[in-house]
Each structure stands twice: as C-alpha cells, then as structure tokens.
Structure 1
Amino acid sequence: MNVNELKFIYEGKAKKLFEYENNVLIYYKDDVTAFNGEKKDNLIGKGKINKKISVFMFELMEKNNVKTHFIKDIDETTFLAKKVEIMPLEVIVRNYTAGSFCKRYGIEKGKKLKMPLVEFSLKNDDLGDPMISDDAIIALDICSKKDLEHIKNEALKINNILNNYFKQFDILLVDFKVEFGKNNNEILLADEISPDTCRFWDKNTMESLDKDVYREGKGDLVDTYTALIRRINL
C-alpha cells in the first residue's frame, strides 16, 4: 500500500500516521533517535523489524485481555489501528535499575527492584519529557484519578505478560515505556512495543538487546534487533 496517497496526520521520531477508512495506518520509519533527538540516524531495515515486533506484541496483549488500538497487519512497514486521542503521558515500568533512573538516584545499573515500579513522564519534547507525579497529573487535569489507576493496572499487567514471554528465551525485561489513548472513551494501549521502547538484557551476559546499543555506541542496531527477533522465534 502506498501511504503517500493517503491523508497525512502526524509524524513522530519513528513513525508516520495516515488516515484510512476512519482509522489510521501507522507507518514505521527507518529513523532512530536518542537523547531527545540529539543523536539521530537512518538505518535501513529498522522500521520493518520494529513493526513486526510491535504487531506481535499487540496480538500477544489482545490474547491476554489487554485492549489495544491494533486492528490488523497490512504489510512489512504498516499496520491498521483505531484512531485514538493519545494521553500526554509516557508510562514507564521498571524491573531493574538502568538508564536515567540510575542517574537520578545515584544507583548502580542492573539492580533488581523489590517490586515493579510504575513512573510517569509528561509527553512534551520541548520540556524533555519531564517526570511527573500521580498527584500532579490529577491536579493538572491531565488524567482523572480513575483513569490513572486503570492505566497503572494495565501497565503492570503488560509487565507481567512480557516478563512471562521473554523469560522463556533467557531474556530479562529491564524496563519499558508505553502510551495509552482514548477511543470512544475507552482506554487502549497505543503507539508501539519494540526494542525502541523496551530494555532487554541477555539473562546470562547482561548484554543489551535494545536501543541502548545505539545510545551507547556498542554495536550495529539493525543486527541487534534482527538477532532479537530470531531469538524469540518471530
């Protein structure tokens, strides 16, 4: 399908959205960014891999009673999704210490947390997606208390599903970021679930199998993602 013949809606760092029969086509680009866009490249094949993983993950969520915006797969780079109004929150679930969490609290990398931790950041590139507390979210009327509790519960449910899936391949789910949107007042998991938005480590070597390879200049990102999908039998 030629997405360029469709009505353009929005372009993000890694995806483009187009209108299609009252829904949206989500097209995955080969672009990769880090550090709020300070580092960026175009890596051939990266979009296809992330789309393939995201489709699989959305289907996995649906099978486990997590409602998503996913409708159906279209081709190598696009899938059809319900049109949602994205809530301006990034929902982060952490199982191990890594990334900005270590810097924020002066904690060593790789420490397993006593329980999964749900955090929120305000989805705002100009502000650098700052962390925001539950009370601030409610006080600023970004989200109702009821909806926020629902999102938290869904995020923890997603964490459990992903942990159970990846542990069979000796892969640790370190942390991940998800987004939610509303469609006819129903909250749906949206955006993507991929190595761009998750941290995966090899259980035995603690080697990164995600975008940290690009962030830290530790290897070829497309090769890393390709090895990951082969490992999980996609």
Structure 2
Amino acid sequence: MTAFSIGALLYEGKAKRVYATQDPDLVAVEYKDDATAFNALKKAQLQGKGALNCRISALLFEALEAAGVPTHYLGVEGSCWMLVRPVAVIPLEVVIRNRAAGSLCREMPIAPGTALEPPLLDLYYKDDAYGDPFLSEARLARLALVTAQQRADLEALAHRVNGVLRPLFAAVGLELVDFKLELGFTADQQLVVADEISPDTCRLWDRATEDASDRILDKDRFRQDLGGVVEAYGEVLKRVQGVCPSPRVYG
C-alpha cells in the first residue's frame, strides 16, 4: 500500500474491517471472505468473496458518483481494500423493494416476484442485539434517530440510488429485486451512501433464467444452501464490468 498507512482498527463487522489511517479524512475498509446469514447464526468462509464484493461495490459506487449521487467512496487499493471518507452512519437500514421476495413474502400476503410499483421503501433499526427490527412510524418517531427533513432526504437519496442501479443491472440481464443501503453524514454534514453495494446487500436475479433457484446470483445462495456463492458473485462482477470502467486506484 502506497498512498496511506493502516492505523487502529475502528470497527469490525460481519463482512468488513474498518481502519483509521494517518489521514483523519481517510478510512481504509478491508473486505473479508466471511459469509453470514440470519443475524450471524449461519457462518462460513468463502475464499475470494471479499475481493469480489470490494470490486463490485467500487464499480457501483463509481456509477452512482457519475450520476451525481454522493457516496463515501474514494478508490481501491489491491484486491480487498477500499478507501472512503469517514462517515457518521445513521443506525437505519434503508431497504428498497422492486419485487416481492424474502421477509416481505413471509410477513404479508404477497406472492414472491410480484412487481412493486412504485418501489416499496422500508426502514429498519440497525442493531443486531434487537434483530434489526422493522420500524413503524411511531417507533421511528420514538427513537428520534433522524429529523423529519433528514428522513425525507435519506428516502429521496435511496430512491435516486434505485433509479441508477435498476437500469444498470437491467442492461446486463439482471433484475434488482431489492437492496439495503446504509447512509450517513460526512464531517461537513453531507448525506452520502456508505457501507457497500454488492450481492451481499442486493437481491439479483438472472432475467434469462426461469428456475427460481438457478436465477439467484446473490447472498440467498448462501442462505438457502444452493452452493455456487462465489461463482454467482463472479458472474455479477463479470456483467457489471461490461458496462462500468475499471475502478480507480486510490492515491
């Protein structure tokens, strides 16, 4: 690594480690090969997964940047490292659903695959100790995590992200079924997209495949014991590389 040096470990999550650097305005993120599901009750090591997620996220962050969507992304270094701006992450998971799948179909009488127009936006409290629960209007108000204006801004930003990613994936034969975002504020109080955007955080279906299992190219392959997780992620990267340039190297 040339343009920065690794400092103290600031945070370790299920799929990434976040480190300080010698620059207070620069944070280094290491993507791990760990795979987890069901609030980390299911775990595995999948060699190469971290590198794939790092590269996919970098390409998608750059696509968002090109479309005028602000993110924390600055560049990559090596296969598993991403350099980002430090962000105070809002403890909310913002989920955009373009089609019904997963928990939505368990919680509501909606058939899997049903198109949701307009896309459905759900907010969840980001806290593993509580199981990342869904937030009703009253619960969100009780927690007071964001002001009314901040909520409006974060929801608008999430829809902008969907407006960029959905046609991008469609152009390479992938259906963006749903995805989750983490958003936060930079030191100058700019609201930005943070964390990652990858098959770990998106449901992606191959539009040319009818079989409900074979079409899955995301973390559901791990959740459902379908196998071929790394191969599926590699297919996503190959397709995204067809419409996005190589990610920039930081420095």
Alignment TM-score, normalising by the size of structure 2: 0.89
Q: Does 1:216 pair with 2:219?
A: no
Q: CA deviation at 1:215?
A: 0.6
Report the secondary structure of 2:155's partner residue.
helix
1-side partners of 2:77 and 2:20: how far apart? 14
| Structure 1, unpaired ranges of 5+ | none
User: What SS is found at the alignment partner of 1:143?
Assistant: coil
- Give CA deviations for 1:81-112 in whole Å, capped at 9, x if unaligned: 11111100000000000000000113221111
SS at 2:183 equivalent: strand
Find the residue that maps to 1:52 and give its secondary structure.
helix
Q: Which of 58, 63, 72 is the equivalent residue of 1:55?
A: 58
Is the contact made by 2:20 and 2:28 (CA closer than 8 Å) also made in structure 1?
A: yes
Partner of 1:124: 127
Q: What SS is found at the alignment partner of 1:7?
A: strand
- Counterpart of 2:198, as a letter, is S
Q: CA deviation at 1:138?
A: 3.3
User: What CA RMSD, in Å, does the superposition of the two structures yield over aligned residues?
Assistant: 1.6
Correspondence 1:204 to 2:234: no
Is 1:160 matched with 2:163?
Answer: yes
Q: Does 1:12 align with 2:24?
A: no
Distance 1:81 1:133 in 2: 32
Change (3 A) 1:5 1:180: closer
Tell me how far apart the structure 1 counterparts of residues 65 and 190 of structure 2 sit (CA, whole Å): 15
Displacement after TM superposition at 1:141 (Å)? 1.3
Structure 2 gaps, min length 5: 243-251
* Residues 4 and 47 (structure 1), Cα distance of their counterparts in 2 relative to 1, 3 Å cut: farther
Encode CA deviations 1:37-76: one digit per residue, 9 max, x unaligned. 1111011100000000001111111111111111121221
Specify the alignment match of 1:42 in structure 2: 45
1:232 correspondence with 2:232: no
| Distance in 1 between residues matched to 2:68 and 2:75, nearest whole Å | 17
Moved more, 36-45 or 136-145: 136-145
- Secondary structure at the aligned position of 1:47 is classed as helix
| Total equivalences in the alignment | 234
Cα deviation, residue 139, structure 1: 3.6
Distance 2:137 2:223 in 1: 29
Q: What is the Cα deviation at residue 135 of structure 1?
A: 4.6
In the aligned structure 2, how far is the partner of 1:233 from the partner of 1:74? 17
C-alpha contact 1:91 1:120 (8 A) present in aligned 2: yes
**Alpha-carbon distance in 1 for matches of 2:192, 2:117:** 28
Deviation at 1:5, TM superposition (A): 5.0
Q: Hey, what's the Cα distance between the residues in 2 that align with 1:181 and 1:77?
A: 22
Distance 1:132 1:65, change over 3 A: same
CA contact 1:93–1:176 (8 Å) conserved in 2: yes
Equivalent in the alignment of 1:104: 107
